């Protein structure tokens, strides 16, 4: 489908890549990887036609359509989200307008036997057929379905795009690409502004997509679930592997290990050859021999290996002091902006050693809740820290808050206290800032480098309670692995917001979920939580509230029926419903008590809490069974009402 012929792109400092020959076929799902600055985004721009290559050419089939999602989207329009997508397909727009015109003509004209009238009927038939083939009749439904999958609510779909943040505009642009179903989709960091649920939806969509996909992403799980081929840009070349990311890393590591051995042997042989050249060059009898060795050395193709300093990076968050049994207590916590209430009446106690993932769709108030916990915004209710609690906070925009005029060293030197100051350069080296790098201004650092520097600042602020809001933003996959390792070994308590499932998986022992303006606590694994959310739907009404509303509706309807006639069967069903509802109410009260007990447990003590956790799971299973029985009885009652 796509052929790259001797492709090259030149910058003042040299070629990003050179003499690239490559083929991308229909249906290929490709992950494009490489260190920052290797040329990944540049290659996508060349494939999309946004920029021209310095050398070589990109060959595309005639009529090939490409959808390209960049990291720097600019959308300036007063159109609603729906209108932006609805007007994006030129062919559908043309046919739709043409059909309207023809239908108007047919109803207003009376020359039914004329040739032009008959031609119009034929054109109408042809256009209707084409409209059906390109799914024009399902166009609006497809738009709404895609927007909902990417996290837009029905109300937001009808809002002007100019009222949304850059992240939500990116979602709208992604939706526009998907609904138009191009032959090739190019995605540059598509998960950066998506929440966990939307990422899972996008994965499912791309798995079923029949065209070619090329993805740049720092989300390992996303690459593993979508791609089946990996292209690595390294040292100006492209290495092609027929595997998803994780398998590619294994194969590449083995290959690099073999290359390392071959390079050592080659370096040894080169050294020996150079020594012989130096030995015989000055002797007239051996000059010809020396020259032959020099020619041989010149022709030797040197083995090059790209070093990866991140793999050697080790990060630990020190514990300041041991806190009390509980570290945080929230009581009646509420936050609103004007008429918009984000969350209400949050009450929970966080025990020492808890590892919490705070999840939920973008816009529900995760970052706001963290800011309330940090007391950096106004709120109503109470936030109390426990005995000896030292909080360290990593804000979502922490990297952007760094002083761009300071050097890397000055940035950490200003925050370090005590004996640790004498080890600052060693610590910076751990974060991959060594030598001249420490004298660089923050303003010239990349997003990933700034995030590493901000994490270094966090390290120099000893704590026993970490609050981390999207700490993996702008970090590459290996740096995220290092951060995860540090948090796994952290002896304190933490609350982390992240949309990276690979990062979160196995990291936490509890999930907080902001749903319907309330904080729900789950003891699921991350995968169980995602299954729950995807199956139940993110906007699901709380079941207990739904039961009460529906139950009241049934009672009213039953009363009306009773006034007209007696119905023993319906009365019996109503009694059974009431009995089930009483059982549900009883179990819900038990769950409240159990959840409170679990919230006070000390997970860092090494004690096992299997009994209380098993009781929690058993109550949830029983509750689900009762709800299924309730739904069955409601269906039975509906059938009786229909008779």
Q: Domain holding 359: CATH number? A: 3.40.50.300
Pair (464, 611) in one structural domain:
no
Residues 400 and 339 in one domain: yes
CB neighbour class for 120 (10 Å; exposed up to 12, middle 13-18, buried from 19)? middle
- The answer on 549 and 517 residing in a single domain is no
Check whether residue 489 and residue 579 sit in a common domain: no
**Assessment of whether the complete model's pTM goes beyond 0.85:** no
Query: Does residue 125 belong to any structural domain of this protein?
Result: no
Instruction: Note whether 420 and 561 are same-domain residues.
Output: no
For residue 544, the model assigns a pLDDT of 44
Give the span between the Cα atoms of 546 and 516, in whole angstroms. 13
- How far apart are alpha carbons 274 and 277 in whole angstroms? 5
Q: What is the pLDDT of residue 559?
A: 47
The pLDDT value given to residue 1: 79
Pair 467, 332 in one domain: yes
CA dihedral 199, 204, 205, 210 (to 10 degrees): 140
Would residue 506 count as lying in a domain? Answer: yes
Q: Which residue has the tokens 């390392």?
A: 260
- Which residues of the chain carry a pLDDT beneath 70? 282-286, 305-315, 418-420, 430, 536-568, 596, 599-609, 638-643
Do both 301 and 332 map to the same domain?
A: no
pLDDT of the residue at 545: 42
Looking at the structure, do residues 282 and 393 belong to the same domain, yes or no?
no
What residue numbers bound the domain in which 268 lies?
A: 250-307
Q: Are residues 333 and 400 in the same domain?
A: yes
The whole-number pLDDT of residue 414 equals: 85
DSSP state string for 236-253: TEEEEESS-HHHHHHHHH
| CA proximity to 452, closest of 471, 470, 434 | 471
Q: Which of 531, 555, 587 is the last residue of a domain?
A: 531
pLDDT at res. 52: 93
Q: Quick one: 386 and 486 in the same domain?
A: yes
Q: How is residue 537 annotated by DSSP?
A: -
Clarify whether residues 349 and 470 are in a common domain. yes
CATH number of 569's domain:
1.10.287
Percent helix, strand, coil in the chain (nearest 5)? 50, 20, 30
Give CA–CA dist 518/217, Å, rounded. 32
C-alpha dihedral (570, 571, 574, 575), degrees to nearest 10: -140
> What local confidence, expressed as pLDDT, does residue 121 receive?
87
What's residue 234's pLDDT?
A: 87
**pLDDT computed for residue 547 by the predictor:** 46
Number of domains in the chain: 3
C-alpha–C-alpha distance, residues 237 and 18, integer Å: 7
Indicate whether 297 and 342 sit together in one domain: no
Question: Does 439 fall in a domain?
Answer: yes
Q: What is the pLDDT of residues 588-621, one digit of tens each?
A: 888 777 776 776 666 555 555 677 777 877 887 8
**What's the confidence (pLDDT) of residue 566?**
41
Alpha-carbon span 407 to 319, nearest angstrom: 27
Q: What are phi and psi of 330, to 5 degrees?
A: -110, 135
Is residue 422 one of the residues assigned to a domain? yes
């Amino acid at each position: 489908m796509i052929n790259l012929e001797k492709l090259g792109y030149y910058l003042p400092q040299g070629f990003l890549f050179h003499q690239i020959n490559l083929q991308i076929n229909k249906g290929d799902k490709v992950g494009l990887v490489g260190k920052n600055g290797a040329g990944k985004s540049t290659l996508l721009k060349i494939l999309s036609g946004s920029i021209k290559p310095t050398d070589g050419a990109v060959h595309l089939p005639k009529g090939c359509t490409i959808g390209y999602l960049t990291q720097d989207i600019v959308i300036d329009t007063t159109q609603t989200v729906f209108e932006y997508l609805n007007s994006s397909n030129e062919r559908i727009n043309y046919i739709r307008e043409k059909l309207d015109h023809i239908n108007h003509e047919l109803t207003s004209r009376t020359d039914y036997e004329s040739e032009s009238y008959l031609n119009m009927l034929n054109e109408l038939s042809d256009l209707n057929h084409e409209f059906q083939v390109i799914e024009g009749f399902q166009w609006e439904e497809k738009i709404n379905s895609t927007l909902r999958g990417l996290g837009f609510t029905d109300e937001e779909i009808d809002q002007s795009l100019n009222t949304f943040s850059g992240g939500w505009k990116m979602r709208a642009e992604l939706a526009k690409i998907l609904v138009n179903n191009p032959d090739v989709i190019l995605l540059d960091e598509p998960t950066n502004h998506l929440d966990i649920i939307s990422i899972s939806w996008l994965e499912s969509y791309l798995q079923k997509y029949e065209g070619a996909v090329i993805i740049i992403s720092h989300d390992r799980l996303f690459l593993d679930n979508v791609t089946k081929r990996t292209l690595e840009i390294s040292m100006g070349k492209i290495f092609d592997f027929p595997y998803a990311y994780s398998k590619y890393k294994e194969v590449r590591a083995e290959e690099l290990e073999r290359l390392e051995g071959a390079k050592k042997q080659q370096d040894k042989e080169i050294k020996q050859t150079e020594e012989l050249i130096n030995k015989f060059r000055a002797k007239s009898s051996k000059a010809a021999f020396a020259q032959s060795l020099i020619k041989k050395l010149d022709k030797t193709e040197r083995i090059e290996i790209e070093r990866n300093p991140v793999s050697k990076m080790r990060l630990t968050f020190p514990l300041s002091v041991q806190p009390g049994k509980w570290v945080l207590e929230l009581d009646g916590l509420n936050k609103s902006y004007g008429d918009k209430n984000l969350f209400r009446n949050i009450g929970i106690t966080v025990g020492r050693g808890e590892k919490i993932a705070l999840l939920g769709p973008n816009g529900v108030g995760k970052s706001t809740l963290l800011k309330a916990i940090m007391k950096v915004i106004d709120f109503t209710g109470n936030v109390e820290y426990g005995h000896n609690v030292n909080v360290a906070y990593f804000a979502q925009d922490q990297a952007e808050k760094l002083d761009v005029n300071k050097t890397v060293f000055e940035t950490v030197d200003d925050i370090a206290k005590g004996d640790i100051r004498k080890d600052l350069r060693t610590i910076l080296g751990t974060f991959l800032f060594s030598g001249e790098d420490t004298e660089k201004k923050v303003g010239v650092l990349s997003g990933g480098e700034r995030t590493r520097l901000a994490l270094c600042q966090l390290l120099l602020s000893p704590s026993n309670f970490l609050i981390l809001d999207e700490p993996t933003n702008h970090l590459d996959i290996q740096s995220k692995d290092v951060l995860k390792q540090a948090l796994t070994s952290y002896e304190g308590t933490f609350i982390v917001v992240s949309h990276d499932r690979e990062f979160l998986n196995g990291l936490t022992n509890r999930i907080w979920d902001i749903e319907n303006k309330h904080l729900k606590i789950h003891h699921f694994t991350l995968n169980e939580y995602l299954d729950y959310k995807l199956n139940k739907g993110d906007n699901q009404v709380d079941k207990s509230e739904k039961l009460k509303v529906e139950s009241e509706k049934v009672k009213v309807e039953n009363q009306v029926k009773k006034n007209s006639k007696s119905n023993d069967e319906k009365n019996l069903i109503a009694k059974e419903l009431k009995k089930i509802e009483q059982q549900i109410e009883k179990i819900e009260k038990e769950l409240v008590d159990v959840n409170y007990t679990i919230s006070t447990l000390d997970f860092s003590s090494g004690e096992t809490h299997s009994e209380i956790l098993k009781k929690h799971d058993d109550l949830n299973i029983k509750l689900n069974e009762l709800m299924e029985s309730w739904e069955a009885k409601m269906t039975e009652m509906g059938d009786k009402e229909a008779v």
